[in-house]
Structure formats: C-alpha cells, structure tokens
C-alpha cells in the first residue's frame, strides 16, 4: 500500500475485476455506445496484467472508500518511462477526486517505481486534462482522430512529465 495526501493506493486484486469491468465498459460506452468487454475477456486481461512486471493497476481509496483507479503501464525500466492513466468510479465523480487520484499515482510512479518520465493522454474535452496540468504534466502534442463518437472523430492531447519537474513532491508522500 502507498499513501499520498489522504489517498491510499493498493494493488488491484481479482475481487476488483467487476468494478474495473464496469468502469471500462462505462468509458467505452461513451465512445462506442456498446458494452465491449465481457467478464470472460476481463478475466483473460487480468491473467496477463496481474503477472506483468511492466504494468501496475492500483485501486485508490479515501477514508476506506474506493474512489478510483490509477494505472502505470508499458513501463520501460531501462529508460525509466511509463504511461500514466486514471479514472474515478461513477459514485465518486463530482467530488473533485480526479486530481488526488492522479497526484497519488504520480507520486507512486516516481518515488516507489523510481520512474524518470510519465506520459498521459486525454481525449479533447475530458475534464482529466485539468488534473494532469495541475499535477505538472506538460502539453506535448495532439493526436488527431484517435476515437470516433457518434460518427465524429475525437482528438487526444498528449502530456508528459519528468520526475525532476513535478510539483507533486512539494509535500513528501508517506511510504
């Protein structure tokens, strides 16, 4: 377990699969208007993800309530790089949890995993952009037409952060 500014991160477990499936299908429904992932496919994904040394899937909680998910994936250990992503469970949305979850995840990635750089990508118009910027991610570019929503192509913004540039460590995390 890892704690940072009141958010506790713990490794996801098999018992979290239904919540993760719900979150994934909810996200995909917004893009594709269909439920894509089945529990069987989710279990197949978990069989690989839970054994990976290059992917960390964490459940974020505050005051003993699960509020979201933080993932650092595609870790390149030689160069100290990883892809950062987060989401907040439906019942915790509107409670300003995006930044705390992402901030705790970034602190984990830099202080525990000792990564040097994190990347993140946000669909244009998504509120997670504010959390990324507040955490210290720097806008690095635009990927055009990465998703289709109601027949319209949606772009994504690409952000990056170097460990020595981040603001997340203004207050040291509790390990």
Q: What is the pLDDT of residues 99-108, one digit of tens each?
A: 999 999 999 9
Neighbours of 29 (CB within 10 A): 12
Q: How many domains does the chain have?
A: 1
Assess if residue 70 is contained within a domain: yes
Q: What is the CATH number of the domain that holds 131?
A: 3.40.630.30
Under a CB-based contact definition with an 8 Å cutoff, are residues 138 and 166 in contact?
Answer: no
Per DSSP, the three-state class of 114 is coil
* Mean pLDDT, rounded, of the chain: 83
Helix (H) or strand (E) holding 32: helix 17-32
pTM: 0.83
Quick one: residue 47, left, alpha or beta (phi over 0 = left, psi -120 to 50 = alpha)?
alpha
The reply to whether 175 falls in a domain is: no
Question: Can you give the residue range of the structural domain that contains 149?
Answer: 2-170
Ranges of residues in the chain whose predicted pLDDT is under 70: 25-36, 167-175
């Amino acid at each position: 377990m890892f704690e940072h500014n009141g958010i506790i991160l713990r490794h996801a477990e098999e018992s979290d699969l239904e919540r993760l499936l719900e979150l994934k299908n909810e996200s995909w429904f917004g893009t594709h208007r269909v439920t894509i992932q089945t529990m069987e496919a989710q279990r197949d994904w978990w069989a690989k993800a839970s054994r990976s040394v290059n992917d960390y899937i964490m459940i974020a909680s505050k005051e003993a309530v699960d509020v979201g998910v933080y993932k650092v994936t595609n870790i390149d250990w030689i160069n100290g790089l990883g892809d950062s992503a987060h989401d907040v469970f439906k019942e915790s949305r509107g409670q300003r949890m995006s930044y705390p979850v992402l901030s705790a995840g970034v602190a984990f990635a830099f202080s525990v995993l000792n990564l040097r750089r994190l990347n993140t990508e946000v669909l244009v118009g998504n509120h997670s952009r504010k959390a990324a910027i507040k955490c210290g991610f720097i806008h690095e570019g635009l990927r055009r037409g990465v998703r289709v929503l109601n027949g319209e192509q949606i772009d994504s913004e690409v952000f990056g952060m170097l460990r020595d540039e981040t603001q997340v460590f203004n207050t040291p995390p509790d390990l």
